[in-house]
Chains A and B, each alone.
Chain A
Amino acid sequence: MTAPYLKPLPQISEENRPFWDGLSAREFRGPRCRSCGQFGWVPYPACRNCFSTDIEWVPLSGRGVIYSYSIVHRGPAAFAGDVPYVVVMVELDEQPQPMIVLGQLDDCPLDQVRVGLPVSVTFHDIPGEDVTLYRFSPSAPVGSTGGG
């Protein structure tokens, strides 16, 4: 019996269900417009380029590079015990329209977090909840230089 998860979780709706189902199937999906081919993150009900509602969820690589980051030293409520933790904006490899995804970064020494670092999505089932969340980790192991 693990402690209950008390951090915010997504409201799953008919519109966003394919994304969260994808995470539980270990697939990071993104919305692509069938009419003009454009990706859009975060998902919107209609394409922000051509306003078509003909949108499909397609599997994405789940890989990208850090566009920006913040090492958070003061967390809200349920995150207070996690500090310091790293919030990242990740620009996914899929182009030409950049998709920048907000998430948390694991497995990286704080002194090695940098803009441009290649990272990949990881999947995390939430115990006792019907939700799988995504996080990011460096695509290749990163060791601390430790000042050496």
Chain B
Amino acid sequence: MSTTRRAAVVGVYTTEQGKRLGRTKVSLELEAIKGALADAGLAHTDVDGLSPLLAEPWSKTHMYWAEQLGERPITYIGTGQGEGAVAKAAAAISAGTCNVALAWVANAGGGNAPGSKAVPTAAPRLPDFHWEIQGAYMTPLYALWAQRYMHEFGASSEDLAQVAVIHRDHAVLNPDSVMGRKGPVTIEDVVNSRMVADPLHLLDCSIENDGGYALVLAAEDIAKDCRKTPVWVLGGAEATATDVYQTFNNPWFPEEGKSVRRCTDMAFDIAGVSRSEIDVANLYDCFTITMLRNLEEMGFCKIGEGAEYVREGHTRLGGSMPCNTDGGLLSNSHNGNPSGMNVIEVVRQLRGECGERQVADARIGLALGQGGSVHGLASTVVLAHD
């Protein structure tokens, strides 16, 4: 086949996001899937591609949901972070292997925070060099990364804190965010909040909550008849380079970058878009340090200059490239695999649905999902409306 048909995000939905919703995971998944299909104006029987964003091995999750959706052949079996899942589903649609694809996830009670696991009654045995043997967990690992970054580039706690301040300001304008109702925070609030793992304070860390979401993608011919303006997938890519939580590399901040750099360069190449054309972006901000490193690694500023770039106001609403307008993982929601929330916010911005936090005339948007300190795992997608 020589004609490449385009693919668009045609439906998005987020359930209520909150600390403990008292809901089951599957009820959140069903609400999200039904909601995203309704947003698109499509039926569950239209779906022929599945990308659960947290999947069990050996496609068990896909088989379960194929059954649930009517025991029909599902011809695209995907997974990944939200951005990678959208990019791959779009590629499958363009290749003709499916027409309508779902990507979704929900969290009900799980988490990474240290309080989320009880003390065992016997010493658990973990795969040989697991970091938990050393008393580390996600926050200390990112703290180690932040500490080395501050050592090499002279960044301060205040440099990191400004990210939390901006993202909270955005969350305040997002009535659906978990933290917006708590009001804005100052740099002093962040650096005076309880230390979790030095140098990361409580407000340098993303929140952890329940909630679900779903996205629906469709081929061009279907997208044109959907309820909302199609948001086209211009290009996207994913990359994994190192098992960074196990294997630490020196230098930890190589000029050439690793996963985030690679998939971002590829996404821009495929999309045929330059960095200066991005009107709005939602980047994976699991910790304040992550946002600074994302901006550097994605090529919006040089390595070591992330804090200066943020200080110049580019990422604020009203700046040259407003970022994390929903409040991000820091202040909107972190629900198991929140990467797809970044795609959803960009879709809503491009549709003009964002109310007080709307970026005027947003036409081209960017979303980034990542894990493993920008080296381990990443995916980027560039989206646009006509």
Interface residues of A (CB under 8 A from B): 4-13, 15-16, 19, 41-43, 67-80, 82, 85, 87, 89, 91, 98, 100, 102-104, 115, 126, 129, 133
Contacts and interface: CB of A to CB of B under 8 A. Distances in A.
B129 A43 contact: yes
21 contacts: A7-B135, A8-B132, A9-B123, A10-B125, A11-B126, A11-B127, A43-B129, A67-B148, A68-B252, A72-B198, A73-B196, A75-B114, A77-B119, A80-B119, A87-B140, A91-B250, A100-B248, A102-B131, A102-B134, A102-B136, A115-B148
Interface string B110-131: 0000100111111111111111
Given A73-B198, A76-B132, A78-B120, A8 B126 contact: yes
Top 8 A-B residue pairs of the complex, sorted by shortest distance between their CB atoms = A70-B143, A68-B148, A76-B114, A100-B248, A71-B198, A98-B250, A42-B129, A16-B128
Given A6-B123, A77-B118, A13 B147 contact: no
Interface residues of B, number: 43
B27 interface: no
Nearest to B144: A68
Contacts of A100: 248-250
B125 A9 contact: yes
A11 B337 CA distance: 28
B195 interface: yes
Contact of A8 (B124, B144, B199, B200): B124
Nearest to B200: A70
Given A10-B133, A42-B129, A74-B197, A68 B147 contact: yes
Interface of B: 114, 117-137, 139-140, 143-145, 147-148, 151, 194-200, 246-250, 252
Contacts of B247: 41-42
Contacts of B250: 67, 91, 98, 100
A140 B268 CA distance: 51
Given A16-B128, A43-B128, A73-B196, 18 more contacts: A4-B122, A7-B133, A7-B135, A9-B124, A10-B127, A10-B133, A11-B125, A11-B126, A13-B128, A19-B128, A67-B248, A68-B145, A70-B144, A74-B139, A77-B117, A80-B114, A102-B248, A126-B123
A89 B249 CA distance: 11
Given A5-B123, A79-B135, A89 B117 contact: no
A106 to B, nearest CB: 12
A102 B121 CA distance: 25
Contacts of B136: 72, 87, 102
A87 B129 contact: no
Contact of B135 (A5, A42, A82): A82
A76 B148 contact: no
Contact of B197 (A7, A73, A104): A73
Contacts of A9: 123-126, 133
Contacts of A80: 114, 119
Which residue of B140, B196, B197 has the most chain A CB atoms within 10 A of its CB atom?
A: B140
Contacts of B118: 77
A104 to B, nearest CB: 6
Contacts of A41: 247
Contacts of B129: 10, 16, 42-43, 102
Given A6-B120, A42-B247, A67-B248, A76 B135 contact: yes
Contact of B130 (A8, A13, A76): A8
Contacts of A87: 134-136, 140, 143-144, 197
Contact of A71 (B124, B128, B151, B197): B197
B249 A85 contact: no
A8 B123 contact: yes
Contacts of A8: 123-126, 130, 132-133
A76 B145 contact: no
A115 B252 CA distance: 14
Nearest to A17: B128
Contacts of A72: 135-136, 140, 143, 196-198
Contacts of A76: 114, 117, 132, 135, 137
Which residue of B117, B121, B143, B194 has the most chain A CB atoms within 10 A of its CB atom?
A: B143
Contacts of B122: 4, 6
A9 B122 CA distance: 10
A129 B151 CA distance: 39
Contacts of A68: 144-145, 147-148, 151, 252
Which residue of B134, B195, B249 has the most chain A CB atoms within 10 A of its CB atom?
A: B134
